[in-house]
A = this chain, B = another copy of it.
């Protein structure tokens, strides 16, 4: 029985999520900030660097025009410049406002020293994003990179349990989530609710998830600063310093075998799950 397209070998990976502090509308300044974050990560031997959603533009854009004003096309020299900073075997994922045929998308790019591997356009749009961006037409990608198969989703995509599960089924070894989480109330002692979702998704599919949130305040609104690296057992790992989480994650195919008789993927009963890919 084909249970997953994952062909994972056991290995460790040094990952970093850096919240940065992008400035709303300051494309040129944000490009410099991101370049500096990449250079720091290179110096520190990071193999996978994840940066926030809309890191080039800031989040609280108030119109499609405002988004297009600070947008990049996927063939922008900004991306090739960043790629030129990278050593072989390092991958960067960063969110940006994309312009494609005068339509704005909330996108993320996957880069290595080889250049642009993939651009993903956010499918599930949050709140006012629906008035600014078009929803991506393509599902979340599993991207073959020098460090492995990376599943890419953005922010609210993570709230749909179908998304991380489908990425794991389609062969992702690690999920990356550029995000901008506005702070919401939660009971004392609890993780941010989005992290609870990520922890559950990680454990359900025995897959590592790297969430990179925002730091600071933008347009008077506070971010959750919920940046976290979550291991394939569903628990948060790594420490946070100065808005940056560093962690060494273990990519291990054996982690999906959770008892002598149980495997998180081959125990699925897909003939029972038809409701999920229909209108309900």
Contacts and interface: CB of A to CB of B under 8 A. Distances in A.
B124 A190 contact: no
A196 interface: yes
Contacts of A278: 270
Interface in A259-280: 259-262, 264-265, 267-280
A166 B272 contact: yes
A4 interface: yes
Interface of A: 1-5, 123-128, 130-131, 135, 139-140, 156, 159-163, 165-166, 169-170, 186-187, 189-190, 193, 196-197, 199-201, 203-204, 233-236, 259-262, 264-265, 267-280
Contacts of A280: 2-5, 169-170, 265, 268, 270
Which of A139, A261, A280: most chain B CB closer than 10 A? Answer: A280
Contact of A166 (B139, B160, B196, B273): B273
Contacts of A5: 280
Number of copies: 2
Contacts of A139: 269, 272
A277 B272 CA distance: 7
A162 B276 contact: yes
Nearest to A140: B272
29 contacts: A2-B280, A5-B280, A123-B269, A124-B267, A126-B261, A127-B261, A135-B269, A159-B204, A160-B269, A161-B161, A161-B162, A161-B165, A163-B272, A165-B276, A166-B274, A166-B275, A166-B276, A187-B235, A190-B235, A197-B200, A200-B201, A268-B280, A270-B277, A270-B278, A273-B276, A273-B277, A276-B276, A276-B277, A277-B277
